[in-house]
Structure 1
Amino acid sequence: MERCLDERNILLIPCHCEHTFYSHRRNEFLVVDIPEFLLGQEHRQPKGTWYPFDEKWKAIRFLIIDALEQGESKSSVLMDLFPYVVKQLFRGVRPVSIQYIDDHFDEDVTLEQLASIENYSVSHYSQWFRRKTGKTPTVYQQEIRLEHAQQLLRDTSLPIGRIAREIGMQHQSSLTRLFQKHLGMTPAAYKKTMDLAKKDDIKEKSAP
């Protein structure tokens, strides 16, 4: 499968996966072979994983290149760095597109946008997403929106229409349908239930 890698991402390729790469410009790629024994069985993934090339990875790249330029490719500098790299790769691993939904739950995110983030076709992305989460991207976003709406109903006095807009829904009726679908009650009923629970909790705490 051909994948396009640019300056915004890095790609972890599984062990024993045959691969080639081609760059349109010289020195565009930095390829680092991590010793397999450092990965451990739980880190030997069956497919490639994408990561955003953020400031943390820019710093790691600088350290690797600096070691190479100093002629230390086999020195303890790189061997000490590899365990840290592995730790960062697998710390709270979350696919970039799923994290994007979490961060932009109040926006109208299209399937095409999400597929592009993972460098998949739309059809392949839909299958991949279901394998990862057990649900479609639409249902996943609905559940994230529901969680945020519940939190706002519990912890604020915002009107229900305003809460609908806060989570990316234009109409209060859309929020009502979401609550009825997943919770079997309206937002107003949910808020009333939460308010009563809070009052009961206060009474219990103040009781002698």
Structure 2
Amino acid sequence: METVNQVICEKRSYSRELKSHQHEFGQFLFPLQGSLEIQTKGQEIILNSDYCFYLPPKFDHNYRSMDRNEFLILDIPTHYLPDHTSSMYIQLDKQWASIRYLLLEEARSQENTASLADLTRYVTNKLQISIPPSIDYIHNHFKESIRLETLAKIEHYHPVYYSAWFKKRTGKSPKVYISDLRLKEAKHLLNSTVWSMSKISEELGFENSSSFTRWFVQCEGIAPQNYRMLNNG
């Protein structure tokens, strides 16, 4: 098993040969050119320049590249990492693209190890607060019907493994997580608007006010009309 005692930031390329290993450190992969096939337990992704990928320590994975490729790799010793991290597929938004640029500059210069260490601490902190793409999707679409298969596909997981990953990440099942978001929004609408039950049920994606009322009673033990009266005096 591979180990590192200090941060390593460098460019690497990968062959067509399918290789399998794990390492004692965390690793970020930032595609610069081409793509990389990565297989883990329950997850298969093709990593391209729109995303980066984090591999936690002691995490079995297979990998190969079928095209001309170059990647910026950040190997992170465990003392930089929180106690428990999981693999994460991260879209390269402006912030992560800026991080990649700064890491590229560090890889080119290799002069100031202190600045690379500081940047690595920033990256690991951002890792902890980053929202995985599927959870971001839930927050944008929780008023709609969301299939587990859709969420699993976003993270490139098999649905069974996705559910386990999601619960480890959030402490809840996807169904409960989505229901909690809808309930929070339902309470907000009941307290802050004079909308009818039909309007609120439509806003939250229910077929009708009766199905909304049944669901709200199951969650809160009280009808939404009564909840509104109690909270609005």
Deviation string, structure 1 residues 36-76 (Cα, Å, up to 9, x no partner): 3322xxx143642333321111001011112323x326644
Residues 1:141 and 2:178 aligned together: yes
Secondary structure at the aligned position of 2:73 is classed as: coil
Instruction: Name the counterpart of 2:44.
Output: 3
Q: Letter of the aligned partner of 1:65 in structure 2?
A: L
Instruction: Name the counterpart of 1:72.
Output: 110
Q: Which has the higher strand share?
A: 2
Structure 2: distance between partners of 1:73 and 1:19: 32
Question: Following TM superposition, by how much is the alpha carbon of 1:24 offset from its aligned partner in structure 2, in angstroms?
Answer: 3.0
Instruction: Name the counterpart of 2:67.
Output: 25
TM-score, normalised relative to structure 2 = 0.71
Q: Letter of the aligned partner of 2:126 in structure 1?
A: Q
Instruction: Name the counterpart of 1:173.
Output: 210
Q: Which has the higher helix share?
A: 1
In structure 2, the CA distance between the partners of 1:17 and 1:124, relative to structure 1 (3 Å rule), is closer
Per mean C-alpha deviation after superposition, the further-off stretch among 175-184 and 101-110 is 101-110
Alignment partner of 1:87 out of 125, 131, 135? 125
| Equivalent residues of 1:14, 1:44 under 8 A apart | no
Secondary structure at the aligned position of 1:31 is classed as: strand
Secondary structure at the aligned position of 1:169 is classed as: coil
Deviation string, structure 1 residues 164-200 (Cα, Å, up to 9, x no partner): 122222311221011110112221111111121xxxx
Deviation string, structure 1 residues 54-107 (Cα, Å, up to 9, x no partner): 1111001011112323x32664442332121122112x3544322321222112
Secondary structure at the aligned position of 2:63 is classed as: coil
Secondary structure at the aligned position of 1:158 is classed as: coil
| Equivalent residues of 1:164, 1:171 under 8 A apart | yes
Structure 2: distance between partners of 1:19 and 1:145: 36
Secondary structure at the aligned position of 2:75 is classed as: coil
In structure 2, the CA distance between the partners of 1:32 and 1:6, relative to structure 1 (3 Å rule), is same
User: Which fold has the larger relative contact order, with Cα–Cα distance below 8 Å and residues 6 or more apart in sequence?
Assistant: 2
In structure 2, the CA distance between the partners of 1:73 and 1:30, relative to structure 1 (3 Å rule), is farther
Q: Letter of the aligned partner of 2:134 in structure 1?
A: S
Structure 1: distance between partners of 2:79 and 2:171: 32
Question: Following TM superposition, by how much is the alpha carbon of 1:20 offset from its aligned partner in structure 2, in angstroms?
Answer: 4.9
Secondary structure at the aligned position of 1:21 is classed as: strand
Instruction: Name the counterpart of 2:22.
Output: none
| Equivalent residues of 1:164, 1:172 under 8 A apart | yes
Instruction: Name the counterpart of 1:202.
Output: none
Instruction: Name the counterpart of 1:15.
Output: 57
Gaps of 5+ in 2: 1-39
TM-score, normalised relative to structure 1 = 0.79
Amino-acid identity (%): 35
Q: Letter of the aligned partner of 2:77 in structure 1?
A: P
Alignment partner of 1:185 out of 186, 203, 222? 222
Gaps of 5+ in 1: 197-208
In structure 2, the CA distance between the partners of 1:22 and 1:142, relative to structure 1 (3 Å rule), is same
| Equivalent residues of 1:23, 1:29 under 8 A apart | no
Aligned pairs for 1:26-45 within 5 A: 26-39=68-81, 43-45=82-84
Instruction: Name the counterpart of 1:48.
Output: 87
Q: Letter of the aligned partner of 2:117 in structure 1?
A: M
Q: Letter of the aligned partner of 1:169 in structure 2?
A: F
In structure 2, the CA distance between the partners of 1:134 and 1:65, relative to structure 1 (3 Å rule), is closer
